Amino acid sequence: MLPDPAALIRTLAVSAIPLLFAITLHEAAHGWMARRFGDRTAEMLGRLSLNPVRHIDPVGTVVVPLVMLILGGFIFGWAKPVPINPRALRDPRRDMILIAAAGPVANIAMAITWVLLFRLLEPFVNAWGGAGVFLGSICAKGLFFNVLLAVFNLLPIPPLDGARMLRGLLPPALGQRLDSLEPYGLIIVVALLAIGVLDDILGPLFIAVQQFVLWASGIKGGTG
């Protein structure tokens, strides 16, 4: 059953800004970390920018998430990957782990920022009426999308960040086997989504990371 058009428009209105920021910061963080370790590829291609247009993949960032939203399923999508040249890194194995981790870490930091912003605005939400509710909803979506993006990317499935991090920890032979799965990574993710396995895997991890974000934001017990 398709969602009510008015409800869909409201959801898009509060989701667009935090989702674009979450994707943009995630990708830019990879490029920033790569530059720190000697690879300036992303910088030369203009991918260190916080301009979302530079990171948007028309299919992965727009079409797929919109279709998933309309169908009411798990919101899934991707941005244009930031190009990394391992040969330009000082210590490729170590540096690739940290470059891959930079994306999820950036999302967790942004999730904390959204919670802090909500706490700052909370006293004014009721006074501002509909505008206050709208801003509060944007902050809530900012928390949701950033935690989701961080957790999702920790999956050890190429080309997700979790696989990049695992690749740097594995012996070269096993790492090459992991790399060989990359052409099928999207198929694997979609299959796991279809059979509901990802919900079982990501659900507890999502809750744990969200509780950490709330705790780090000064909310006792991770609630409130």
How would residue 223 be classed by pLDDT, with cut points 50, 70 and 90? very low
Q: Which two tokens stand for residue 83?
A: 């190009």
Residue 70 has pLDDT above 80, yes or no: no
What pLDDT was estimated at residue 2? 55
Q: Does residue 86 have a cis bond before it (omega within 30 degrees)?
A: no
pLDDT, tens digit (0-9, with 9 covering 90-100), for 123-148: 887 777 788 888 999 999 999 999 99
The residues that are catalytic are: 27
What is the maximum alpha-carbon separation in the chain?
Answer: 61
pLDDT of residue 130: 80
pLDDT in tens, 151-175: 999 999 999 999 999 999 999 899 9
The CA-atom distances, in angstroms, between 24 and each of 43, 49, 195 are 14, 8, 30
Binning pLDDT at 50, 70 and 90, where does residue 224 land? very low
- pLDDT tens for 34-57 read 999 999 999 999 999 888 888 988
Pair 153, 103: CB distance under 8 Å: yes
Q: What percent of the chain has pLDDT over 70?
A: 94
Domain ranges of the chain: 5-222
pLDDT of 141: 93
Distance CA 54, CA 80 (A): 8
pTM over 0.85: yes
User: Where do we find the tokens 């605005």?
Assistant: 121
